[in-house]
Structures are given as structure tokens and as C-alpha cells.
Amino acid sequence: MSQTMLAILWPMLAHIGWVCMLYAWLTYARMRAVQRGETDSACFVLGRDEPLHVARITRNLANQFELPAIFYALVVLLIALGKVTMFDVIAAWVFVAGRVIHTLVQTLTDNVALRGRVFMINFLAVVALAGHVALLAFEGLSR
């Protein structure tokens, strides 16, 4: 496997690490909220009536399984096709950086407009990867 093919695995692994960190943060935040008497653990059964600071983390963690699912599929397709380029590796790192920034904005602020603008970083990185996969598909059709 080429170095470029291997290089695209690192952003995927970085995102997986980020998701693991979010699970740990959410667990800690929920535990602290119960200890402080802000809520009781029953509110976490359906995620209702969570304190705002916990709900932000919960929602962001859920976001990590929306657009990132498409990111993973595109990366796996590029690897399976053996067509990973440095463009793809850069787009993948931009995606991960955007996910980190998005998490920070979503969990630490109430600035929904900024969150939407930051989300565009992730979205455009996925569009770039999808565009490359689409080009490969069109090339395959023209053969």
C-alpha cells in the first residue's frame, strides 16, 4: 500500500479518537451534573431535560455519526479503488479539523450562526472527496 493510501487512514483514526474523547467528556459531564444535583440520572434515559452544558455535548456526539459516516464511506471507497491522492489526504485533514472546531463551537457557545459557518468546513471537505470519487466513477464509465 502506498504512503498516500496509508496517510488517509490518519485523519480517520484522528476522528475516531475525537469521538472517543467526546464519549469520555459526556460521561464525565453527566456524572458531574448528577453529583451537583443539576439533574438525576433518569433524564439521560431519553436525553430529555439534560442540563444545557450536557445536552450540547450529547448533540455534538450525535453529529459525529451523521456527515462523518459519509466521510468514512468515501475514504474507504478511495482506498478500495487504490486512488487516494494528496488532495484527498488534505481534504480529510480539513474535515477532521473542521469537526474539532465544530465541536468547540457547538459545546462551548450559543453561537448557532458561527456553528453553521464552521460546519461548512466539514461539508466542503466531504464534497471535495465526493467530487473525486464521482470523477473516478465517470472515468470508469468512459472506458
Burial of 107 (0-12, 13-18, 19+ CB in 10 A): buried
Asked: is 3-141 a CATH 3.40.50.12280 domain? The reply is no
- For the stretch 107-130, pLDDT in tens is 999 999 999 999 999 999 999 999
- Mean pLDDT (the chain) is 94
- For the stretch 15-55, pLDDT in tens is 999 999 999 999 999 999 999 999 988 888 877 789 999 99
Four-residue CA torsion sign, 58, 59, 65, 71: negative
Residue with cell 466539514: 122
Please determine, for residue 143, whether its predicted confidence score (pLDDT) is greater than 80: no
Domain coordinates in residue numbering, the chain:
3-141
- For the stretch 61-112, pLDDT in tens is 999 999 999 999 999 999 999 999 999 999 999 999 999 999 999 999 999 9
